[in-house]
Amino acid sequence: MTQLNFQNPPQEKTQSNLAKTWGSITSASPNVTDSGERRRAQITASLTFVLLVATTIGTIAADNKAALAFAAITGLVSYTLSRTRYYSVGAFLFIIGFSATPYINILAGNTETPVISIFSFIPLSLILASALVNKWTVFLLTGMNAAAILYTIPNDPKVGVTSGVISAAGILLAILDSVRENIEKTRLEELKKANQELLSIQSNLEERVTERTTELKRRTTQMEAASYVARAAAEVRDLKSLLDNIVFQITERFGFYHAGIFLVEPNGQFVVLQAASSDGGKRMFERGHRLEIGREGIVGYAAYERRPRIAQDVGTDSVYFNNPDLPITHSEIALPLITQGRLIG
């Protein structure tokens, strides 16, 4: 067997270390949880860090240190805030500091082409405001720049054009930002609606599965009960024991609080209670409870009609026999027992 070991190229390790270092320098605060906000916070941290490094180096090397020192201080404060939950404040300060740079240079007399200096910084600052903050910041920044242009170069022949172009660009960016927000809001609402529909479909499917499962369990219980009755009928020779077992199984497996079996008297006029599962039913059995066929109660009606009778609400059923031994009865079903066309119970 030959074993081959490979080492990662040094360049890949270096790139990995640089990526980790950069990530630790520009990562968003753990308090910022929304993915979109974390992305904006990371961009703000990246820009402010680059500005901080560049202006710090420039301040050390340049002769005119005022503007760069201001930018370095602004960058430091902005970068510090960008690593906290207040990253939007850091972004705002960064944009304000970036926008102020050409005006500081103009007032300090460090530029011979003030209009070019303004156009070198301000459009980019407006774009950054649109990307990192919101449309209201863009509006505010547009107004501040228009006022700053009129203040710093009032006698320049291009002051009107410069102010107008910057104002138009800022308003256009704010409008585009508003349109983008509306589109995103609409898409989020559509996505939310789609998710709700999916949840509704999932809920309906779960309900259907539950219903099917319940139905299968019910049918299984019915089959088990029928199987037990068939076995008991074949094995138990005593009719009374058989009937008692049947009503017990019906009550136990189907959750009824009472089940009873009536058999037809030889003269065919009455059905007599022969087995009952509830305490009230057993008292009725001991008294020899019977019902006249066709005249008394749901049992008598089902026996007379020779078809099942169901009362969903016995309180509103005109045929129901109000039985004091079964006071909590709400629904009742009576099933006639017929063999070879003859009613037996």
* Of the residues 143, 163, 195, the one at which a domain ends: 195
Q: How many CA atoms lie within 13 A of 106 on its CB side?
A: 23
Q: Rounded to the nearest 10 degrees, what angle do helices 135-152 and 159-235 cross at?
A: 170
State whether 29 and 118 are in the same domain.
yes
- Identify the domain containing residue 300 by its residue range: 256-343
Residues 159 and 267 in one domain: no
Co-location of 49 and 148 in the same domain? yes
Q: Are residues 155 and 265 in the same domain?
A: no
Backbone angles phi, psi at 183, to 5 degrees: -65, -45
The helix or strand, by DSSP H or E, that contains position 204, with its residue range, turns out to be helix 159-235
| Reported pTM | 0.48
The answer to whether residues 267 and 187 belong to one domain is no
Helix 159-235, helix 114-132: angle, nearest 10: 10
Same domain as 263, residue 184: no
Are 26 and 161 part of one and the same domain?
yes
pLDDT (tens, 9 = 90+) of the chain, 345 residues, equals: 334 444 555 555 555 677 777 777 778 778 777 777 778 778 877 877 777 777 666 556 555 556 666 777 777 787 788 788 887 888 888 888 778 878 887 887 777 888 888 888 888 888 877 777 777 888 888 888 888 888 888 888 888 888 888 888 888 888 887 887 788 788 888 888 888 888 888 888 888 888 888 888 777 777 777 777 667 666 666 788 888 888 888 888 777 888 889 999 888 888 898 988 888 888 888 888 888 888 788 888 888 888 888 887 776 765 666 778 888 888 888 888 888 888 887
Tell me whether residue 237 is in a domain.
no
Number of structural domains found in the chain: 2
Q: Name the one residue in this structure whose structure tokens are 């019906």.
A: 250
The reply to whether 67 falls in a domain is yes
Whether residues 42 and 148 fall in one domain: yes
Q: Is residue 2 part of a domain?
A: no
From CA 115, how far away is CA 106, in angstroms rounded? 9
Same structural domain, 190 and 313: no
Q: Is residue 214 part of a domain?
A: no
CATH of the domain at 316: 3.30.450.40
Question: At which of 154, 170, 195 does a domain end?
Answer: 195
Q: Is residue 235 in some structural domain?
A: no
**Residue 109 corresponds to which amino acid?**
G
Q: Which candidate, 83, 105, 65, places its Cα nearest to that of 29?
A: 83
Domain ends where: 154, 180, 195? Answer: 195
Q: Are residues 284 and 187 in the same domain?
A: no
